[in-house]
């Protein structure tokens, strides 16, 4: 019961920090909405997706949801560096509780924040595209939320892995900038990967976000590059590995 209380306390702390930071809430929503309107509607009027029965806005919508989850999740590692600089991390690490419970609590809290943001973007996507343009039913929505949850947990873990090895904000921001944008653009969020050059396809296949975006596109539009179970299996495997790695590295912080 003590371990569950630790997880709940860390989750509650992350939720309170997010709720009290209104600029953070607005910023996490404004950029995906801007991309959705500018890229989806603006570029959608200039070209269409080959061999697809839907427009570019429908195609890019799962990618924008993935972008929202990626950015919100991976930058949650900043909180670890802040806690280390202000001494809070030292206080919780010397407490007589399991470090695994602490890191799981931070993961659950940050993933919840990311998932809430993604659900808001999903709601906006449904409003912009209209029910007739998407495959909307309880099963497809549950499948979409499942992929969103896996993306959130995976990249929150990536953020914690990086933050556990760094001690300053500048280094974290530099690594995140080098990691986030290639991960996003190679995920097939903005253009079909199957039409890309061979070398880009090869690199994209090691991008875990690609499988998350492809899975959400499959559940929302019925069209994808891979079978949904392939996307789901690969993303689950990546999530398990990153959660285990984040827990291990976090437990070794001095």
- Write out pLDDT tens, residues 73-120: 887 777 777 777 667 767 776 777 777 788 888 888 889 988 998 898
Q: What is the DSSP string of 184-213?
A: HHTTTSSS-GGGS-HHHHHHHTT-HHHHHH
Q: What is the mean pLDDT of residues 13-41?
A: 79
Q: What pLDDT is attached to residue 234? A: 94
Contact between 190 and 43 under an 8 Å Cβ cutoff? The reply is: no
Domain ranges of the chain: 2-251
Q: Which residue has the higher pLDDT, 241 or 223?
A: 241
Task: Give the N- to C-terminal CA distance of the chain in Å, as an integer.
Answer: 26
Of all residues in the chain, the percent with pLDDT exceeding 90 is 14
- Give tens-digit pLDDT for 47-79: 666 555 667 778 888 888 998 898 888 877 777
- The answer to whether the beta carbons of residues 186 and 207 sit under 8 Å apart is yes
What is the pLDDT at residue 146? 93
What pLDDT score was predicted for residue 191?
Answer: 80
C-alpha–C-alpha distance, residues 142 and 135, integer Å = 12
| Closest-CA residue to 67 (of 172, 242, 195, 186) | 186
- pLDDT for 20 equals 82
Question: Is 233's pLDDT higher than 90?
Answer: yes
Q: What is the pLDDT of residue 159?
A: 84
Other beta carbons less than 10 A from residue 104's beta carbon: 20
pLDDT of residue 165: 77
pLDDT of residue 241 exceeding 90, the answer is yes
Average pLDDT, the chain: 81
pTM: predicted TM-score of the whole model, two decimal places: 0.86
């Amino acid at each position: 019961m003590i371990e569950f209380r630790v997880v709940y306390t860390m989750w509650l702390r992350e939720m309170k920090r997010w709720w009290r930071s209104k600029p953070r809430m607005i910023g996490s929503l404004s950029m995906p909405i801007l991309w959705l309107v500018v890229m989806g509607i603006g570029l959608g009027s200039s070209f269409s997706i080959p061999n697809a029965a839907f427009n570019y806005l429908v195609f890019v919508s799962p990618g924008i949801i993935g972008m929202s989850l990626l950015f919100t999740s991976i930058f949650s590692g900043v909180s670890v560096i802040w806690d280390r600089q202000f001494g809070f991390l030292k206080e919780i690490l010397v407490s007589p509780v399991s470090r695994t419970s602490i890191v799981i609590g931070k993961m659950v809290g940050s993933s919840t924040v990311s998932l809430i943001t993604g659900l808001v973007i999903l709601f906006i996507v449904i409003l912009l595209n209209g029910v007739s343009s998407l495959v909307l039913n309880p099963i497809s929505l549950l499948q979409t939320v499942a992929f969103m949850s896996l993306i959130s947990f995976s990249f929150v873990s990536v953020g914690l892995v990086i933050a556990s090895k760094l001690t300053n904000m500048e280094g974290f921001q530099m690594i995140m900038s080098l990691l986030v944008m290639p991960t996003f653009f190679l995920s097939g969020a903005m253009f079909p990967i199957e039409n890309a050059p061979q070398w880009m396809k090869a690199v994209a296949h090691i991008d875990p976000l690609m499988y998350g975006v492809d899975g959400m596109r499959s559940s929302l539009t019925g069209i994808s590059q891979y079978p949904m179970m392939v996307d789901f299996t690969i993303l689950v495997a990546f999530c398990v590995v990153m959660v285990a790695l984040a827990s291990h590295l976090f437990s070794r912080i001095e």
